[in-house]
Structure 1
Amino acid sequence: MRIALIGATGMIGSRIAAEARSRGHEVTGITSSGSDGTVTADARDAASVAAAVRGHDAVVDAIAPPRDGSDATPPMLEYARGILEGMRSAGVRRLLIVGGASSLEVAPGVRLFDSPRFPEVARNEAAAGIAQFALIREEAGDLDWTYVSPAAIIAPGERTGTFRVGGDQLLTDAEGNSSISAEDYAIALVDELEKGQAIRRRISVAY
């Protein structure tokens, strides 16, 4: 499979690239800078995206929200719209999005973002993820998308191959913890890319 990976050098993107390549897939890394052997493209510009993803079987959006203190929502929506329009122009239908956990439910109708214990420092980035997910659900119905939410905590760690895959609810362990390594998250995302079992819906991944 030919995979166009936008945001290929980030913490999660780099692990998705490694996992996909280990399974024999051809991965084209795409970044705004063209560093580390990646293809240069501006995700906000549909024509730029189309040129980079044309001829691929799938696109993975692994762009992380800005962490410079600015409002992260407008650029994340720009990236999402640029990718959607670029894919349509290039004739690529399959899209996987590296999402966030903040929109996952911790109780019926209650998101993690709404929890009183949700850290204030993470609200800007989390709000951007929520807006991105809403846009995908509202505007990407003509594409074969899957939104992949991690656990509440995702960080570099071990590739164990042992984890759970859920839906719109936050997955926690017996102690109430919600975590996943970036390596195991990458396994789950590439599994879904290969199997296509969650078209036009969200999955979540945690231990």
Structure 2
Amino acid sequence: MKIAVYGATGMVGSQLVTEAAKRGHQVTAVSRTGREVAGASSNAAAQLGDAAAYRALAAENDVVIFSVPPSRTGESHQPFIDAHEAISETLVPARVFIVGGAGATEVDGVRLFNIPGFPEEYKPEARTMGEVLDLYTSASGLDWTMLAPAPVIAPGEPTGNIVLGNDSPAGDHVSTGDFAVAALDEIETPAHQHRRFTVASA
């Protein structure tokens, strides 16, 4: 399978590249600089909002993974939202897989960022990822899936024990290795098409 990974130099993206390559997939590592990423078969330079580059990658690959968070340095999140709106409205032959955010998951139908006590500093990103999820949920004709991590995600190897959930957190924490395993399991054997699911380390 041919897989393009946006955000391939990041904490989660690099682990996704590693896991996909380990399983024998042909991986294109996509980043703003196009720098080489261990395990990738090729590298590409592209911005999230570059529609032409996205269409080209989606034509050349079976799956396009987006592992790119919104800005965490105070800039407006609107360009990030606009980019995902364009992606959600562009029909491509590739499947689209989005790395979601834990803050936009739900407990009893209420998104975490609306629950009292949710840290204020994480609310902007959580709200943005909630908007992004809504864009894909409203999309028509696009083959997409979103995987959201547990509230705490940190670097770590696969443990061999993961728990999946639907819209609610599946647990308190997940390693990047376990997250990547769940992502590639879904990519290889789709079970959550057109919706979000969650993962945690057992």
- Structure 1 length as normaliser, TM-score? 0.89
Structure 2 match to 1:51: 56
Structure 1, residues 154-177: CA drift from partner, whole Å, max 9, x if none? 1102311201011011223xxxxx
Structure 1 match to 2:198: 204
Instruction: Tell me how many residue pairs correspond in the alignment.
Output: 196
Report matched runs for 1:1-207 at 5 Å: 1-36=1-36, 38-72=43-77, 74-84=78-88, 88=91, 91-106=92-107, 108-139=108-139, 141-172=140-171, 178-207=172-201
Amino acid of the structure 1 residue aligned with 2:80:
M
Offset at residue 85 of structure 1 (A): 5.3
Offset at residue 189 of structure 1 (A): 0.3
Structure 1, residues 28-61: CA drift from partner, whole Å, max 9, x if none? 0111221226201222121121123322111111
Contact 2:169 2:198 in 1 (8 A): yes
In 2, Cα distance between equivalents of 1:110 and 1:51: 38
Offset at residue 4 of structure 1 (A): 1.1
In 2, Cα distance between equivalents of 1:85 and 1:105: 25
Seq. identity, %: 39
Runs of 4+ in 1 over 6 A off after TM superposition: none
In 2, Cα distance between equivalents of 1:201 and 1:14: 24
Q: Where does the alignment leave 5 or more consecutive residues of structure 2 unmatched?
A: 38-42
Offset at residue 126 of structure 1 (A): 1.1
Three-state SS of the structure 1 residue aligned to 2:102 is coil
What is the Cα-based RMSD across aligned positions, in Å?
Answer: 1.5
Structure 1, residues 75-115: CA drift from partner, whole Å, max 9, x if none? 221221343456x3xx4231110001112222x22221112
- Structure 2 length as normaliser, TM-score? 0.91
